[in-house]
Amino acid sequence: MSATTLPALIQRFFIDRLCVQMEASRHTVAGYRDTFRLLLRYASARHGKPPVKLTIEDIDADLVADFLVHTETARGNSARSRNIRLAAIRSFFRYVAMADPTWMLHCQRILAMPNKRYVKRAVTFLDGDEIAALLAAPDRSAWAGRRDHALLLLAVQTGLRASELVGLKCCDVVLGNGAHIRCMGKGRKERATPLRRETARLLAAWIGNDKDGNSPLFPSIRGERLSRDALEHLVRKHCLTAARACPSIGAKRVTPHTLRHSTAMDLLHHGVDPAVIALWLGHENVETTQIYIHADMRMKERALARVAAAPTPSGRFRPDDQLLAFLEGL
């Protein structure tokens, strides 16, 4: 296989570039892998030849543009997911341009493709009553219910990402004075998050004395680490139960990331500085935390209360011209 064929370049990109040089996380590698599986299948169907026979020339800017449209229309991906796919493709063609400069112009056309703009909606979060109903939902008389209750309590107190929650091991929980939990976040950045006393007590009881320190903190029934799909399923399941006691939670689309948003909003409502919230959540940039300020109606209402209303005369507008009166009456 030639070193500059498309299959060879893709293999070198994943092994040398992503895994060795960049030391990308397994989540990043999995995301890139899924993008290229979809892209190669699409290109294979377009050109009528198997993926191993495709060439760099086959994957041009026009095909990439059509593929991105396909992900939105045929697969129902959002504009944000479409942009993530494009970022993976761009990363590969930057590598191709470096590895074989003869393809520079070909790569530049793909690298020049813009991201698609999309509506950035306000974040969804749970209030205090909804969180209480969710935490009360698991049946703590059963092993799975005790696990789910401990997981949900830890999620709403720490704001850990879904990947961070399912990746926790028993040894990541530090109890005693200064109880905290360690996790490896995005970009391989390790951080420690303090635990409230009740959370620390619950985790101590959950771990007990029998568990191996390297075993998953929240295992499946088979003793393996929970998958992200399993985590999303248990959150949905307990939200349905919680909706019986708190109907408002049933009107929201609650995911594990919603619990992370709820943590941030709770910290913000208690007056915690956004820079501290960014450190708490593991945000690389404080600007990422601004989305919670935009969603905080309490802060906006307090600001509105400080502003005196401008004196305005009451009454309905009445035009002083016959033509304007005619138009007003239409």
Catalytic residues: 161, 186, 257, 260, 283, 292
- The amino acid that residue 26 corresponds to is R
Q: How far apart are CA 278 and CA 185, in angstroms?
A: 13
Query: What does the H/E/C string look like for 95-157?
Result: HHHHHCHHHHHHHHHHHCCCCCCCCCCCCCCCCHHHHHHHHHCCCCCCHHHHHHHHHHHHHHH
Size of the chain, expressed as the number of residues it contains:
330
List of residues 6+ apart from 161 with CB closer than 8 A: 185, 186, 256, 257, 260, 282
Cα–Cα distance measured from residue 159 to residue 96, given in angstroms and rounded to the nearest whole number: 38
Q: Please give the Cα distance from 155 to 239 (Å, whole number).
A: 14
Backbone φ and ψ of 274, nearest 5°: -55, -30
Rounded Cα distance between 85 and 35, Å, is 6
Neighbouring-strand partners of residue 184: 190
Contact 169, 226 (CB under 8 A): no
> What is d(CA 11, CA 219) in angstroms, rounded to the nearest whole number?
34
| Calpha distance 132→6 (Å, rounded) | 54
Per the listing, tokens 């309905």 go with 316
Structure tokens at 29: 């590698």
Write down the residue that tokens 């498309």 correspond to: 6
Which residue's entry shows tokens 């086959």?
58
